[in-house]
Structure 1
């Protein structure tokens, strides 16, 4: 947690010890769903292993993915109730077996009251999360599926350092707020253009620059 929280350098030794001592390990099996919002507070979470996905769901059951947290990421969304007016009503799901370090609401409240640096850091991080979530919604509303899908594939390759994205069409559709059938059709167009190669449960990117430039 020391490497993920640069603000620890602006905290007194007793404050650092209090935070680190109360960072408790928790595990969430794949598929575990948690609520966020003004009335729910899981605590400040550092993802040690796995992936958490923040999403909203319409009355019709359509999901819009807002944020994804991977190993090494810090989620302040799960502690949003501490930040008063800055929160969003959404759901968090463990996309795979996930282990996190959690700092409880009680400890976090105490430290934020005592240390302005920590308080400012968490507010800035929350604003960053909200900005990224808004950007995700804007993409769903204003960008074509081909542009969202190509951007997603390239971004995943850069994040993992691999040319192969190990996700199914259904998983990708959830991340993009689209339908599996629509994603499958667009993948076929990418494959026909020689940009990707379809594999079982995965997509191999052959031409990242071509994907970004694709306008078909």
Structure 2
């Protein structure tokens, strides 16, 4: 399967037998927008490799609020959907398709078996896992120590860049789920932004009016 060589940096360093095991057990899937493709630690479906689309990896706070940990795009690899293969790591996350998404899936048992035999694969997996946890720690720092107005401004700017336009087709509830906040808090903050001329609000959407002003407000929360 030629695609694995393109998506997995360590693939060419595996033996022909190891390459064959991965290739023969990799399957292609399509997820609809809004579909949950992995639901918590009990749902250990395997390694997901994005071909096109976008995944949102999120968890639930103790209050039951969703918090987006990070997002994945084309050529990204989702490891935490196979947390059962990672010793001593129990990270209860869910994965949602943010738009129609095509992806490849390698069963956790297959990936683990080959990884135990191949040092380059094990090293890459460790590096990728460390990078994901770095993303999570950055998010925790944002939640614990940064102001909500800064986080919200940074989120709007990031979404605008991703969607390629100033109008964001998102409800206040959806924004709150990304930020791990309450809808009422997000609504109050957006109304304040509107009063300051930073955004314009309409049903189901937020339009950025003053990108420079938002960027100044978001300085401490921009990567």
Counterpart of 1:109 in structure 2 is 112
Whether the 8 Å contact between 2:157 and 2:211 is mirrored in structure 1 is yes
Q: Where does structure 2 lack aligned partners over 5 or more consecutive residues?
A: 219-223
Alignment CA distance shift 1:19-1:207 (3 Å) = farther
The whole-number CA distance in structure 2 between the counterparts of 1:9 and 1:205 is 45
RMSD, aligned α-carbons:
2.4
Write out per-residue CA displacement over residues 43-94 of structure 1, whole angstroms, 9 at most, x where no aligned residue: 1101234433322223432222222223432101112222212341233334
Structure 1 residues 145-154 or 11-20, which shifts more?
A: 11-20
2:38 to 34, 37, 41: 34
TM-superposed CA distance for 1:96, in Å, is: 4.4
Whether the 8 Å contact between 2:36 and 2:94 is mirrored in structure 1 is no
Counterpart of 1:55 in structure 2 is 58
Write out per-residue CA displacement over residues 118-150 of structure 1, whole angstroms, 9 at most, x where no aligned residue: 111011111111121122222122211101101
2:212 to 184, 199, 209: 209
Alignment CA distance shift 1:11-1:202 (3 Å) = farther
TM-score normalized by structure 2?
A: 0.83
Alignment CA distance shift 1:209-1:86 (3 Å) = farther
- Match of 1:20, SS? helix
Say whether residues 1:85 and 2:85 are aligned partners. Answer: no
> How many positions carry a matched residue from both structures?
214
Say whether residues 1:64 and 2:73 are aligned partners. Answer: no
Counterpart of 1:8 in structure 2 is 11
The whole-number CA distance in structure 2 between the counterparts of 1:22 and 1:111 is 12
Q: Where does structure 1 lack aligned partners over 5 or more consecutive residues?
A: none
Whether the 8 Å contact between 1:86 and 1:126 is mirrored in structure 2 is no
Counterpart of 2:143 in structure 1 is 140
Whether the 8 Å contact between 1:52 and 1:95 is mirrored in structure 2 is yes
Say whether residues 1:130 and 2:133 are aligned partners. Answer: yes
TM-score normalized by structure 1?
A: 0.85
The whole-number CA distance in structure 1 between the counterparts of 2:79 and 2:181 is 27
2:192 to 165, 189, 192: 189
- Match of 1:101, SS? strand
